[in-house]
Amino acid sequence: PVESRRDLRRTLDGLSLRHLPMLGRDMFRAMLHPLRVAWAAPRERPYARSGSKKPSSRQVVIEASTVAAIEAHCGTRIKVNDLLIAIVAMVTAKRSRSRPIAVLYTMDLRRYSRTPHLSATNASAILTTVVPRAATDRLADAVKAVRAITQRQQRSFAGPAFLLVPMLMTGATPHGV
């Protein structure tokens, strides 16, 4: 069954009072994070113009054998999400000459729920990895740097903080906490 309201309460119901200090820390970091992103490398080369009049998208399937070959090249087990973030960081680094690289990705917040459930709520947070420029020359280095960042974010409360800070700053919202 899907809950009738678009409500974040059930998504975050696995958090308890003992999580408050860490959540507070990560909410403070979430308020400072835009400064890190603002310091990231600006895009200096424009994207290529498209002749299409419609938005375009492309679905890419990465075969298990391709992932295995990339893991062999990197010398470590990787998550496909980390691989994609690393590739985007490497491409972005080619569009600028200096400073770290910011890449956005989504984190599913249902991991903070007490029990698995279907939800009508958009229970995702948009997080940013700020990848050191030195790690964007080789795929193996980029994957290792991204993995360290995403693992740190997954062990923290960066996802809930991403949603709760703006909600606390703007007051009542239709999502009902």
pLDDT in tens, 22-75: 888 988 888 887 887 787 877 676 666 767 777 667 777 878 888 888 888 887
Q: What is the pLDDT of residue 133?
A: 92
Tokens of 32: 């400072």
pLDDT at 135 over 90: yes
Return the structure tokens found at 177: 């906490």
Residue 109: pLDDT band with limits 50, 70, 90: confident
Instruction: Say which residue, 110 or 94, is predicted with more confidence.
Output: 94
For residue 168, give the nearest of 36, 34, 24, 32 by alpha carbon: 24
DSSP result, 111-150:
GGSSS--B-SS--EEEEEEEE-GGGGSSHHHHHHHHHHHH
**Look-up of token digits 């693992």:** 151
**Is the CA virtual torsion 113, 115, 121, 122 positive or negative?**
positive
Q: At what angle do helices 64-74 and 139-155 cross, to 10 degrees?
A: 100
Rounded CA separation 176/10 (Å): 11
Q: Using 50, 70 and 90 to split pLDDT, how confident is the model at 119? A: low
**100: helix, strand or coil:** coil
Q: Are 146 and 82 in contact (CB under 8 A)?
A: yes
Alpha-helix runs per DSSP H in the chain: 8-11, 20-39, 64-74, 80-93, 139-155, 158-170
Average pLDDT, the chain: 79
Distance CA 19, CA 24 (A): 9
Q: What percent of the chain has pLDDT over 90?
A: 11
Q: What is the mean pLDDT of residues 78-100?
A: 87
- 42/17: higher pLDDT: 17
Neighbours of 62 (CB within 10 A): 11
Query: Does residue 77 surpass a pLDDT of 90?
Result: no
pLDDT at 131: 92
Confidence at residue 46, expressed as pLDDT on a 0 to 100 scale: 67
Higher-confidence residue: 53 or 96? 96
Give me the percent of the chain exceeding a pLDDT of 70: 80
Average pLDDT of the residues in 160-165:
81
Mean pLDDT value of segment 143-171: 83
